[in-house]
Amino acid sequence: MKRKTYKPVSHGRASICTWDISFHFYTKEQRDKAIKLILKRFEQAELNTWVEPGDSVTPSKYYISIENYSWANNLTDLGRLLEKCDYYME
pLDDT per residue over 5-46, tens digit each? 888 898 888 888 999 999 999 999 999 999 999 999 998 888
Q: In one letter, which amino acid is 32?
A: D
**Across-strand partners of 9?**
14
Please provide the CATH number assigned to the domain covering 19-82. 3.30.70
Say if pTM beats, i.e. exceeds, 0.75.
yes
Instruction: Compute the average pLDDT of residues 46-51.
Output: 95
43 secondary structure, DSSP code = T
C-alpha 41/C-alpha 78 separation (Å) is 9
Say if CB 47 and CB 35 are below 8 A apart.
Answer: yes
Question: Do 68 and 46 touch, CB atoms closer than 8 A?
Answer: yes
Domain ranges of the chain: 19-82
Nearest CA-CA partner of 61 in 70, 50, 71, 72: 50
CA distance 33 to 57: 25
Whether the CB-CB separation of 42 and 74 falls below 8 Å is answered with yes
